[in-house]
Structure 1
Amino acid sequence: MNLLNTIRFDTYNELDVTVRTRLRKDSTTAPDFDPSARFALQLLDRLPDICARHGEPAVEFVDKGFAFRSHEPERSSTGIRWIQRTVGYEIRFLLRVMYRAATMRRTDVSPPSSILEGEWPVCSKCLLARRIWQYIGHAIVLAGIGLLIAVLIGTQISTSDHLPVPLGLALFPGWFPCGLVVATLLYQHSANLVLFRPITNHDKVWIRTHPGFADAFESDGTTSEAR
Structure 2
Amino acid sequence: MMPIRRFLLALLFATLSGPGAASAADDVDLVIEAGRLSLQADAASVAAVLAQVAHAAGAQLTVRGQLPDQPRRWSLHGVPVAEAVLQIARPWNILVVPGGTHGVREIFVIGVIGAGGAAGAAVAPAVPAMTDRLPVPDADTLARRDAVAALAGEPGETAIRALEAALGDPDAGVRLEALQALGRIDSDAAVRVVGQVALGGRSATERAAAVAVLETSRRDLAHVMLAAVRGRSDAALGAR
Larger Rg: 1
Q: TM-score range by the shorter chain?
A: under 0.3
Q: TM-score, normalization: structure 1?
A: 0.22
Q: TM-score, normalization: structure 2?
A: 0.21
